Amino acid sequence: MTAVEGKCTPRFEPLRAALAAHLESGDELGAAIVVDVDGVMEVDLWGGHADEARSAPWGEDTVVNLWSATKTLSSLAALVLVDRGALDLDRPVAEYWPEFGAQGKQDIEVRHVLAHTSGLSGWQQPFTMDDLYDWPTASARLAEQAPWWKPGTASGYHMQTQGQLVGELVRRVSGRTLAEFVETEIAGPLDADVQIGARETDWRRIAPLVAPPIAGIPADLDLEAIFTRTLLGSPARDEHVDTPQWRHAEFGALNGHGNARGMARALSLISRRGEANGRRLLSPETVDRIFDVQADGVDLVLGVPVRWGMGYALADPKTIPDMPTGTICFWVGRGGSIVMMDLDRRVTFAYTMNRLGDGLLGSERTHGYIRHVYEALDATN
């Protein structure tokens, strides 16, 4: 059996065994799993390899590009500003970003951006990676754009635009970039190994992602469908990741870097109702706002039922059957990474890996690990 390093309390031994089995079979290349129970890391495991050639071990401080799990950090940054009174979830975005009010967007509120209901799920074509790499251009294009459906009436996953929208709000009200804000106001105070983009000094410990092949876009797709417009208006692809330009960029929806331990240390702030690692960054009232349901139905982009709160999806058996109901919020990254916050049990579960799996909202590995977490918790409660 492949060695798994780190620590694990006895009740979570089946979780360790599951990770070891996936590493042994090759389903996992390298991975890390953390389960934080009310501030105690009962699970802090890692193993496998950091590269496809299997020449470098996945170490204790190995990090990866988080893809859409990055959104959990960007949403947390927005909530910190909400808690400080700098942002109001129920005020129009245009009050903070006047140019945004163009094309009938004057009534889109901050909560619509966090809940993927603003109608801006992709950039209007033509829009290229060069445009995405240029922050002013990417923001200006969204400010000039009309929404693709009536804001607030339905969710349509803001695959790559949400980080730009949240990041622009953070810049407008704090005077700092999203990357700077996450570093100084979240990662630093919580001693969490997470960042937006990646400092060059950390490149040596980034495990490149190994992605499965993606089928081409069918020729008969409806070009006016929200899904198609979102996909074509979201230019970042696997080949862009792990390049210097990508790591230097600031994509609040896409290019966060971290590991399971760092994500758990940052997001346990929510599981523990605003206070973690000796620091209070959110009031319980702000945490409660996360669970104000903003959309509940089939997402126009994802095509599956998702219950959206403020910045996070909320537990729903129609979305992820292995996740129990309760006061639980979460989000996933391409390939299976996840961070899940269970406020009823004060538990935070995080999983990061470098071999991307299949599955729209987490891979089979992700769902299996979730089952093991709750089997352990239920057996001892």
The C-alpha atoms of residue 248 and residue 267 are separated, in whole angstroms, by: 24
What is the average per-residue pLDDT within 271-287? 97
Mean pLDDT of the chain: 96
pLDDT of 105 over the 90 cut: yes
Q: 8-37 burial, b if ≥16 CB within 10 A, otherwise e?
A: bbebbeebbebbbebbeeebbbbbbbbbbb
Tokens linked to 193: 């190994």
What is the pLDDT confidence band of residue 176, given thresholds at 50, 70 and 90? very high
Q: Is 341 helix (H, G, I), strand (E, B) or coil?
A: strand
pLDDT tens digit string along 66-91? 999 999 999 999 999 999 999 999 99
Locate tokens 């006061």: which residue?
Answer: 327
Determine the structural domain holding residue 38 and report its residue range.
4-379
Rounded to 5 degrees, φ, ψ at 280 are -100, 120
- What does pTM read for this prediction? 0.97
Model confidence at 224, pLDDT cuts 50, 70, 90, reads confident
Asked whether the beta carbons of 24 and 54 are under 8 A apart, the reply is no
Tell me how far CA of residue 346 lies from CA of 39, 115, 125, in angstroms: 8, 23, 44
Residue scoring higher pLDDT (302 or 214): 302
Give helix 260-271 / helix 70-83 axis angle, nearest 10°.
Answer: 40
Q: What is the pLDDT of residue 10?
A: 98
Calpha distance 57→46 (Å, rounded): 10
222 confidence band (pLDDT: 50, 70, 90): confident
Specify the DSSP element, H or E, that contains 171. helix 162-174
pLDDT at 216: 65
Instruction: Please check the confidence at residue 215 and state whether its pLDDT lies above 70.
Output: no
> How many structural domains are present in the chain?
1
User: CA 380 to CA 189: how far, in whole Å?
Assistant: 32
For the segment 87-103, the average pLDDT, to the nearest whole number, is 98
**What are 227's two structure tokens?**
């899904």
109 has which bridge partners?
92
Q: How far apart are CA 317 and CA 280, in angstroms?
A: 31
In which band, very low, low, confident or very high, does the pLDDT at 220 lie, cut at 50, 70 and 90? confident
Q: What is the structure's pLDDT at 122?
A: 98
pLDDT value of position 231? 95
State percent of the chain over pLDDT 70: 98
Q: Is residue 58's pLDDT more than 90?
A: yes
CATH code where residue 95 lies: 3.40.710.10
> Can you give the three-state secondary structure of 67-123, one letter per residue?
ECCHHHHHHHHHHHHHHCCCCCCCCEHHHCCHHHHCCCCCCCEHHHHHCCCCCCCCC
Confidence (pLDDT) at 213: 80
- pLDDT tier at 217, thresholds 50, 70, 90: low
pLDDT value at residue 1: 56
**336-347 average pLDDT score:** 98
- What confidence tier does 125 reach under pLDDT thresholds 50, 70, 90? very high
